[in-house]
Amino acid sequence: MNTTSFNRLFLLYKPGLYRYACSLCRNSLDAEDLVQETYLQARKSLEAVRRDDLIRSFLTSILRNLHHNRQRRTWMKTKTAEGKRFVLLTCEVPDTRYQPHSELMRKEQKEKVHRALGTLPDKLKEPLLLHQFGKKNYLSIAALKRIPVGTVRSRIHRGKKKLHSLLARDYRCGPGERRK
């Protein structure tokens, strides 16, 4: 593959890569950096791609691996009081309509979803993020993760179910109370 066709294909897949990076990083600046690092890493190993139709999976793999490498380095530096290692960042999404109340509600809901996603095990979280934010189908996730398609389907289903149960706790009402 020559550099011109690679650049053209990278520009085609860049928005999807950015969405996936933002869902992983939860920070728009880190997501942009991750996409740029993905481009540079992919340019170095351009000869590894034999067919143009595999470029999307190739780029997504590089992005995911770069993110995991960053996360490992960060985890080594960051520890909480309980001794568990994690970092929770948020991704700000600009809103063109300024409505303070609805903006606050959206921000709270987004934080709840990010916290709930953070509690999911990686084997459930990664396929779910690839499917929902990376806009990948089951077959491409299976190829990317090197697992059967049925396993991808069940992990996405179990991830959604677990996420739903975690989020539903916040909206349950006690006896005699009404839902808002």
Q: Which class for 17: exposed (0-12), middle (13-18), buried (19 or more C-beta within 10 A)?
A: buried
**Helix 28-44 vs helix 55-77: angle between axes, to the nearest 10 degrees?**
120
Tell me which residue of 157, 27, 149, 16 sits closest to 92, measured CA to CA. 27
Confidence of residue 98 (pLDDT cuts 50, 70, 90): low
What pLDDT was estimated at residue 161? Answer: 92
Percent of the chain predicted with pLDDT > 90: 18
- Pick the residue with more confidence: 61 or 83? 61
Handedness of CA 57, 62, 66, 68 (dihedral sign): positive
Count up the domains in the chain and report the number.
2
Residues 64 and 112 in one domain: no
Q: Let me know: does 171 contact 55? Beta carbons within 8 Å.
A: no
Domain hosting residue 75, numbered range: 1-92
CA distance linking residue 72 with residue 96, whole number of Å: 36
* Residue that is last in its domain, among 38, 73, 92: 92
What pLDDT was estimated at residue 102? Answer: 65
Mean pLDDT of the chain: 77
Residues 64 and 142 in one domain: no
Can you give the pTM of this predicted structure? 0.47
Residues 126 and 150 in one domain: yes
Q: What is the 3-state secondary structure (H, E, C) of 123-157?
A: HHHHHHHHHHCCCCCHHHHHHHHCCCHHHHHHHHH
What pLDDT was estimated at residue 12? Answer: 84
Tokens of 1: 């593959």
The enclosing domain of 70 has a CATH number of 1.10.1740.10
Residues 108 and 158 in one domain: yes
Tell me which residue of 40, 41, 38 sits closest to 21, measured CA to CA. 38
Q: Let me know: does 134 contact 16? Beta carbons within 8 Å.
A: yes
Q: For the residues 151-162, what does the mean pLDDT come to?
A: 93
Q: For the residues 40-56, what does the mean pLDDT come to?
A: 77
- Pick the residue with more confidence: 8 or 87? 8
What pLDDT was estimated at residue 115? Answer: 86
What pLDDT was estimated at residue 82? Answer: 45
Tokens of 43: 């340019």
Residue entry with tokens 């190993």? 45
The enclosing domain of 140 has a CATH number of 1.10.10.10
Is 126 a residue whose pLDDT tops 80? yes
